Structure 1
Amino acid sequence: MRRKHTLAATAVAGILTVALGTSAAQAEVAADCGPGGPGEFANHTLLVFPGSHQPIYDFVNSAKRSIDLTMYELDDTTMEADLIAAVQRGVDVRVILDGRVGPGSKYYQPGYDKLKAGGVNVVWSNPAYYFTHQKTLTVDDRESLVMTGNLDSYYYNSDRDYALFDANPLDVRAIGQTFDADFADQAVTPSAGSGDLVWSPTTSEDRILDVINGAHRTLLVEQEEMYDTDVINALIAAAQRGVQVKLAIIEECDLYPYLNQLLAAGVQISLNNTSTDTLYSHAKVFVADYGQWDERAEVGSINISNTSLNENRELGVILDAFGPRNQQVLDTLDSVITGDFNDGQTYVATTDPSCG
C-alpha cells in the first residue's frame, strides 16, 4: 500500500462544489462562510479531491466560537497554523488525533506538539477504539465536514477523496455529542442524527450492508480496501441477482484473492495507482441505483475491513435524492467515480507470486 507509513488498518483535479467544472471563483464563493450563520454550505455540499484544500481552510477561518476536529492523520502546516490562529482570536479549539499511529511518529507527533504549544486543546484518541480513523471538522456547532481523506498534505496531489458539508442540525448535534464523549474518553453510543449518520464500531457494517443489499440495478463502488467477508459476500450476492456492480480500487497484491472472488461472481473491477493510472483511490464510497427514485450513497471514513467496521471510531453519511442539494452530490459522485473506473486498468484474475 502506497502510504508514508504502513497502515495497520487493513488493515479531477480541482475542487467540485456540487457540480463538475466549477471555476476557482465559484469555488471561493461556495466556501465563503460569511457572518457564520447556519446552513451556508447547505445540506449537503461536496468537495472532490485532488485539488485545493482552501475551502476547508476557509471553513476553519470562519469560526467565531468553536472548532472540533477529529482526525486520523494531521500533517498540514496551513491547517495547524489556522487552528492556532483561531485560538488566538478567542475560538475554543479542540482536536482529537489518533492515539495509535500518532504518538512518537515523525510525521504526526510534531503537529500534536505544535498545536499544544499554540494553545489548542489537543488530545490523543480514546484507546477504546483500535484506531480513531474518523475525519470530521465541526465549526461553531452549526456545520460539520465529513471527510474520506486525512489532513495530510503529502497526499493532496495524488489521492481521490471526498468531503461532505452537513448542515443538518440533528446531524451536527449528534456529531458534537459523540465528539464530547470521545474527547473525554467516555463511552458513548452515537446517534444517527437525522437518520443518515453511520458510525463505527456500532452501526457501520449493518448500514453499509443495507445499502448493498437494497440495490436493485446498479452499485458503483470506490474503495481503498476490500477485506471484509460480509461486505464481499453482499457484493457477490448483488452481482448474482443481476445488479451491475462496478468497483474502482487501488492496485494492491494483498487484495487479489478478494478481487478474484468478486470477479468470478461478475463484479467489474478497475484498478488505479498503476503504471498507467497514478490516481490513488483513498475514497470510501458506495452509490446504489443511481438515476432511480430510490438511489442512495454512503460516503465517509469507513474502509471495508473488519477493523474499520467493527473496532475503529469512524463516521460516514448515507444520502438519498430527497435532501437539499443531495441530487447534485449524487450526480457528482456518479460522474467522478464512473470516470475513475473508466480511466483505470481492467482487472483480470491474478495470482502474483511476488505477494508471497
Structure 2
Amino acid sequence: MSEPTSHHQTLLVMPDDGAESVVALIDQAREQLLLKQFKIQSDAIEQALLRAHQRGVQVRVMLNPHTSGGDRWNDEAHARLNGWGIESIWTSEAFPVTHEKSLVVDQDFALVATFNLADKYFTETRDYGVVTYSPPVVAQVIAGFEADWHRQFFQPDLGVGLVWSSFHSRGQMARIVDAATESLWIQHPKFVDAVILDRIITARERGVKVRVLCGGKHGISDWDIYDTFASLRVMERFGVKVRRQKHLKLHAKLILVDGVAAQTGSMNIDRSAFDLRRELGIESDAPAVIARLKATFQADWAEAAKYHAPDPLDPTLHEEGELAPDPHFVHD
C-alpha cells in the first residue's frame, strides 16, 4: 500500500453511523467546502450545507445531472442549493456519468465514500466512507475537484493511495487483488469485467481463500444481469465461496486483502466504471479502519446465505429469494 494511506484515516459505516456522521463533517467547515456527488436526496445534508453557507463558508457543489438510464435525481437539490446562493453546477461533460462521492472540508480532510448523500443510503444499505487527513491525499481530491469544475484534464498521481477513473482504476484494483496471499474478501454488488474476474480466479488458483458477498439480482440492471450472474457462477466453480447479502441492501464496494489492507470507493467492478465514468476510491491499511471493515464484513457474512447464481439465460429463476424490486435502487 502507498505510505500516506497508513496514517490519519477514520471509517464511516452505513447505516450504523447514519446521516448525522456526515452532517458532523460538514458542520466542521469554517472556510471552504467542496462536494462532488452522484445523488443528493437528504434534507439533513442540504440543511447542513445551508448552515455552512450562512456562516460564511465558501460552498461549491458538483452534482451528476442524470443516470445512465436518464433519471434526473438531482434537479431539485441543484435548484434548491442555487436558490440559497450556494454555487452548484453539473459535473463535467467529459464523463457520461460522474459516480464519485467525495467531500473536502477546509483542505483539512476528505471523505471518499461508497454511499450517496440520500436518506436511503443512510438507513437501508451497507456502505462505507473513509475520512482521510493525509495532506497529499486531500490535495489530490481537491485537484480532481478543481479540474472537473473548470473542465480541465486531470492526471492523478497514482502513488498516494487514491483510485481514479476513468483510465486507471482497473489496473489499480487488479494490483490490490494480485497482492492477496492468504485471504480475499470482496463485498460488491456487480461483476461486469473479465480482467478483474480473471484476477479473482487466479488468486483462488494460487491458494487464496476468497469470499464474495454479493447482492444477488437486487439493484442490477437488465443489461448487467448476464455478466454478473455468469461471473458469480464461474467464481463458484473455481472454489470461491459466494453468499448473498439480504439483511441490508448491498451497495458497498469493498476488497479486503489478507486482513491488512483494503480498497473501497465509488466504482463497481464494471467496465463502464473503469473506462468511462468519473469515479474515486481509496486504499487503506490503517489498523482501526481495517479492523472495523473486517468486523462489518464478518457480521454481514454471518447474516448472509450461500448463493448459487441462477442461469443468466433463464429469467424464470432470477427472482427466487430476492428482495422486493426497488426502482430507486439501481447500481448505475
Specify the TM-score bucket, using the shorter chain as the normaliser.
Answer: 0.7 to 0.9
Secondary structure of 1:53's counterpart equals helix
Match of 1:296 in 2: 261
1:102–1:108 contact (8 Å) kept in structure 2: no
User: Cα–Cα, structure 1 residues 59 and 181, in superposed 2: closer, same or farther, change >3 Å?
Assistant: same
Equivalences for residues 32-47 of structure 1 within 5 A: 43-47=8-12
Q: Is residue 262 of structure 1 aligned with residue 235 of structure 2?
A: yes
Q: C-alpha offsets along residues 43-85 of structure 1, whole Å, 9 cap, x if unaligned?
A: 1100111132212101111111000001001111111121122
Q: Which AA in structure 2 matches 1:213?
A: D
Q: Is residue 335 of structure 1 aligned with residue 295 of structure 2?
A: yes
Match of 1:73 in 2: 39
Match of 1:308 in 2: 273
Match of 1:230 in 2: 195
Match of 1:35 in 2: none
Q: How far is the alpha carbon of 1:103 from its aligned partner?
A: 12
Match of 2:315 in 1: 353
Equivalences for residues 17-56 of structure 1 within 5 A: 43-51=8-16, 52-56=18-22
Secondary structure of 1:156's counterpart equals helix
CA distance in 1, matches of 2:50, 2:215: 35
CA distance in 2, matches of 1:102, 1:54: 30
Q: Is residue 86 of structure 1 aligned with residue 52 of structure 2?
A: yes
Larger mean CA deviation between 300-309 and 194-203 belongs to 194-203
Equivalences for residues 263-278 of structure 1 within 5 A: 263-272=236-245, 277-278=246-247
Q: Which AA in structure 2 matches 1:226?
A: F
Larger mean CA deviation between 307-316 and 246-255 belongs to 246-255
1:219–1:286 contact (8 Å) kept in structure 2: yes
The ranges of structure 1 where at least 4 consecutive aligned residues each deviate by more than 4 angstroms after the TM superposition are 102-106
Q: C-alpha offsets along residues 182-214 of structure 1, whole Å, 9 cap, x if unaligned?
A: 11111111234x621111113211111001111
Q: C-alpha offsets along residues 312-345 of structure 1, whole Å, 9 cap, x if unaligned?
A: 111111122xxxxx11111111111122122112
Q: Which AA in structure 2 matches 1:59?
A: L
Q: Which AA in structure 1 matches 2:216?
A: E
2:66–2:74 contact (8 Å) kept in structure 1: no
Q: Is residue 285 of structure 1 aligned with residue 254 of structure 2?
A: yes
Match of 1:199 in 2: 164
Q: C-alpha offsets along residues 123-182 of structure 1, whole Å, 9 cap, x if unaligned?
A: 111011121100001000110011110001133221000111100001111110110111
Match of 1:112 in 2: 78
Q: Which AA in structure 1 matches 2:274?
A: L
Match of 2:23 in 1: 57
CA distance in 1, matches of 2:122, 2:265: 17
Please, what TM-score do these two structures have when normalized by structure 1? 0.81
Q: How far is the alpha carbon of 1:88 from its aligned partner?
A: 1.7
Match of 1:243 in 2: 208
CA distance in 1, matches of 2:145, 2:156: 9
Q: Which AA in structure 1 matches 2:315?
A: P
In structure 1, the gaps of 5 or more residues are: 1-41, 321-325
User: Cα–Cα, structure 1 residues 59 and 102, in superposed 2: closer, same or farther, change >3 Å?
Assistant: farther
Q: How far is the alpha carbon of 1:349 from its aligned partner?
A: 4.9
CA distance in 1, matches of 2:299, 2:69: 38
1:317 paired residue among 266, 276, 282: 282
User: Cα–Cα, structure 1 residues 187 and 347, in superposed 2: closer, same or farther, change >3 Å?
Assistant: same
Q: How far is the alpha carbon of 1:353 from its aligned partner?
A: 3.0
User: Cα–Cα, structure 1 residues 331 and 159, in superposed 2: closer, same or farther, change >3 Å?
Assistant: same
Q: How far is the alpha carbon of 1:104 from its aligned partner?
A: 8.6
In structure 2, the gaps of 5 or more residues are: 1-6, 320-332
CA distance in 2, matches of 1:339, 1:117: 43
CA distance in 2, matches of 1:284, 1:139: 24
2:36–2:61 contact (8 Å) kept in structure 1: yes
Match of 2:325 in 1: none
1:97 paired residue among 63, 70, 91: 63
2:215–2:249 contact (8 Å) kept in structure 1: yes
2:247–2:304 contact (8 Å) kept in structure 1: no
1:103–1:109 contact (8 Å) kept in structure 2: no
Secondary structure of 1:81's counterpart equals helix
Match of 1:122 in 2: 88
